Amino acid sequence: MADIVTPKLDGKIRIPLMEEGATSHYHTLESSPKLNEALGYPGELVENWQEKAIEKFREVLDTNKALRVFMDICVKCGSCTDKCHYFIGTHDSRNMPVARQDLMRKVYRRYFTLGGKLFPKLVGASDFTKEVLDEWYTYFHQCSQCRRCSVFCPYGIDTAEISMAARLIMSHIGLSSKYSNEIIAKVYNTGNNLGIPAPALAGTMEFLEEEVKDATGVDVRYPMDEKGADVLLIAPSADFFSAPHVDSLIGYGKVFHEAGISWTVSSYASEFANFGMFVGDFHVMRKIAQRIKDAAREFGVKRIVVGECGHAWRVGHSFWNTLVGPWDFLDQRYPVPQHICEFSLDLIQRGGLKLDKSANDARIVTFHDSCNVARASSMGGYEGGQFEVPRELIRATCNNFVEMAEDTIKEKTYCCGGGGGLLTDDLMELRIRGVLPRAEALHAVMESHGVNYLALICAICKAQFTKVLPYYNIPMEVVGGIHQLVGDAIVLGGAKHEV
């Protein structure tokens, strides 16, 4: 475990006093030249980087309304200053959302506004110096793009958009994060973030069939690359290889089994996650999404159902249609894509699943809304469905469900501290500090209600929580997926029906 002193939890979220530069040394590892070039970026910082960066900045301003508007209209009211989990956890003043945005805004003002060109000092404008570039790299890699600040902004200014744009500009002058680039390269090469080759994937699926058979005595199938299946399941690759993720995958399989629907995963598109979003690159995002479309076409599936992954749900829900649509070759009676929670809840509501809630009686469950689900997507086809669908699913499968504090759930949810391409060991301190508000909220219900299960629908949240909650003396075993609950409550062969 990293050597770090964490505060003792008492269930209260406190807004700290500012400490300038407290995290100025959190500098995520830079990508190697080889890796940068593999993704089509310059290998290392180009000689005329300042000129190139301003050029790219101008291009982004001209093609992204959000950035164009956000650069101009912030009034510095201060509403966002106490909303970021990284500010709460690290105390660094530059982790206040507006201060983070201003790192970009000061360059914008200097090069793109009259005031900044004439009187830079008076309007807080600054030349794009090497020091400023360092600040960009440091602090735009301390934003998990969770959008919490945006909820409370009178104009909806979204720091996620700004950090994505900043990372895009930096990539184009040869400066980007090793972690994200490595993962993108792995998807290009193997089809998934973890770099799992097809034979290993097939082995996992076979293993799961045996596991479930041993545990339940029922032949539940976990198929891979089966052409002609009805459903293509796109799951985050962590679901194949990490705990507790894999328990949710077991749950998906049981749901499909009970639904009597044929399904398959694809070894070519074995990844739902799309790190193209984190690095702000439309083209990368498109290339990764295209793999999924190609697989769906090749297999001739009727519908796409996706697994528990937060940012990928945003990409699938909000961006796929624009990136790689149309999806006119799929059955138009179903949304594209359909979330596994939507699929399961719909099945339950139509009486297609027999559930034994008492199987989860040892669990006292609370639900962590993952940022990209809560603040950047929807579910169930109605406003706020992304809050209700998972909760209904939990209530349908468990007898004990407790909400965390009002200010820490739904659209006000706190990030796990590991989103936005920051789930890397070299940012461990940041991750441990960033989880603080969520840990406090969780601690409060653990104390008051004996909560022992933190249900989630995000692969990154699962990985982050299992790793960092132990620093606060919360055991990693509390973390699990919603479909782990569903899977455990399903009575196999219990509902005989036609779907």
Partner 1 sequence: MTRLSMVYITLYYIAFAIFLGGFLFKIWRFAKTPAPLVIVGTPGAKSGVGTALRVASDALLFRSLFRGNKWIWVGAYCFHFGLLFLIFRHLRYFVWPLPMWYSRVEQLVGITGGLMVVIGIGWLLGRRFFHARTRYISAFSDYFVLFLLLAIAGTGLLIKFSVRTDIIAVKTFMLGLARLHPQPAPADPWFLLHFSLVLVLLVYFPFSKLMHAGGVFFSPTRNQIDWTRSTERNGGTSLPSRTRSLRRSARG
Contacts (CB under 8 A) with partner 1, residues 8-37: 17-18
CB of 249 to partner 1, least distance (A): 23
Measured between alpha carbons, how far is 481 from 499 in angstroms, rounded to an integer? 25
Using the rule CB under 8 A, which residue among 8, 25, 121, 496 binds partner 1?
121
Using the rule CB under 8 A, which residue among 74, 143, 234, 468 binds partner 1?
74
Beta 453-456 vs 338-339: how paired, if at all?
Answer: unpaired
CB of 381 to partner 1, least distance (A): 8
Q: Closer to partner 1 at the Cβ: 132 or 359?
A: 132
Using the rule CB under 8 A, which residue among 28, 53, 83, 246 binds partner 1?
83
Contact call for residue 286 and partner 1 (CB under 8 A): yes
**H or E, element range at 437:** helix 436-449
Q: Closer to partner 1 at the Cβ: 322 or 399?
A: 322
Stretch that binds partner 1, among 22-30, 118-126, 430-438, 472-480 (CB under 8 A): 118-126
Closest to 170 measured CA to CA, from 282, 67, 49, 29 = 49
Using the rule CB under 8 A, which residue among 2, 4, 75, 362 binds partner 1?
75
Closest to 249 measured CA to CA, from 205, 218, 217, 315 = 205
Measured between alpha carbons, how far is 54 from 61 in angstroms, rounded to an integer? 10
Using the rule CB under 8 A, which residue among 22, 38, 46, 123 binds partner 1?
123
CB of 302 to partner 1, least distance (A): 13
Count other C-beta atoms under 10 Å from residue 232's C-beta. 26
Q: How far are the Cα atoms of 100, 143, 161, 428 from residue 156, in angstroms, in the given order?
A: 15, 17, 11, 30
Contacts (CB under 8 A) with partner 1, residues 288-317: 317
Q: In which residue are the tokens 């620093």 written?
A: 471
Contact call for residue 52 and partner 1 (CB under 8 A): no
Annotate each residue in 87-106 with x if it binds partner 1 (CB under 8 A) or - if it does not, as one string. Answer: ------x--x-xx--x----
CB of 85 to partner 1, least distance (A): 15
Contacts of 8 (CB under 8 A, 6+ apart): none
Assess contact for 205 and 211: CB atoms under 8 A: no
CB of 407 to partner 1, least distance (A): 10
Stretch that binds partner 1, among 227-235, 299-307, 368-376, 490-498 (CB under 8 A): 368-376
Measured between alpha carbons, how far is 394 from 366 in angstroms, rounded to an integer? 9
> Which letter does DSSP use for residue 19 in this model?
B
Q: How many residues bind partner 1 (CB under 8 A)?
A: 78
Annotate each residue in 223-262 with x if it binds partner 1 (CB under 8 A) or - if it does not, as one string. Answer: ----------------------------------------
Stretch that binds partner 1, among 76-84, 209-217, 416-424, 426-434 (CB under 8 A): 76-84
Closest to 89 measured CA to CA, from 178, 162, 9, 27 = 9
Contact call for residue 442 and partner 1 (CB under 8 A): no
CB of 89 to partner 1, least distance (A): 16
* CA-only gyration radius of the chain, Å: 23
Q: In which residue are the tokens 């982004």 written?
A: 60
Stretch that binds partner 1, among 29-37, 264-272, 380-388, 431-439 (CB under 8 A): 380-388
Contacts of 63 (CB under 8 A, 6+ apart): none
Measured between alpha carbons, how far is 340 from 394 in angstroms, rounded to an integer? 13
> 174 — phi, psi (to 5°)?
95, 25
Q: How far are the Cα atoms of 49, 62, 143, 381 from residue 57, in angstroms, in the given order?
A: 12, 9, 19, 36
User: In the chain, how long is the greatest CA-to-CA distance?
Assistant: 77
Using the rule CB under 8 A, which residue among 1, 5, 114, 227 binds partner 1?
114
Contacts (CB under 8 A) with partner 1, residues 127-186: 147, 150-158, 161
Q: Closer to partner 1 at the Cβ: 237 or 338?
A: 338
Using the rule CB under 8 A, which residue among 86, 319, 367, 453 binds partner 1?
319
Using the rule CB under 8 A, which residue among 140, 252, 327, 401 binds partner 1?
327
Tokens standing for 206?
Answer: 């076979």
Using the rule CB under 8 A, which residue among 78, 199, 217, 351 binds partner 1?
78
Stretch that binds partner 1, among 46-54, 298-306, 323-331, 457-465 (CB under 8 A): 323-331
> 265 — phi, psi (to 5°)?
-100, 165
